Amino acid sequence: MSQRVSGRTPLDTYVINQVKEMRIARGISQAVLAIKLGVSATFIADIENPKKDKKYNVSHLNRLAKAFECSPRDFLPELPC
């Protein structure tokens, strides 16, 4: 059975880490990413905080892919978590 950290599955954690790595690699702040997604900067900060339960949903992944000009698949692992 999968272990959860703060109510997140291993898949949730993987996706969050992928988004964060892309954000940092592109030099995009949490505030700028929040504007691109139409959410608050606090929402992004909560998602990136491992002590919080916030996570991205499928709609967020689609908007993230548009913001980063990539495929939503780029945020997912090749194999199940």
| 1 within some domain | no
Task: Say whether pLDDT at 2 is over 80.
Answer: no
Is the pLDDT at 5 greater than 80? The verdict is: no
How is residue 53 written in tokens?
């339960």
Mean pLDDT of 56-80: 97
Which distant-in-sequence residues (6+ apart) come within 8 Å of 76 by Cβ? 11, 14, 15, 18
Number of domains in the chain: 1
Domain extent at residue 48: 10-69
Q: Flag whether 2 is in a domain.
A: no
What is the reported pTM? 0.90
* All residues at 6 or more sequence positions from 33 whose CB lies less than 8 Å from its CB, including other chains: 23, 44, 67
Per-residue model confidence as pLDDT tens digits over 24-62: 999 999 999 999 999 999 999 999 999 999 999 999 999
What are the residues whose beta carbons fall under 8 Å from the beta carbon of 47, sequence distance 6 or more? 16, 19, 54, 55, 56
The CATH number for 55's domain is 1.10.260.40
Identify the pLDDT of residue 26.
Answer: 97
Residue 65 lies in a domain: yes
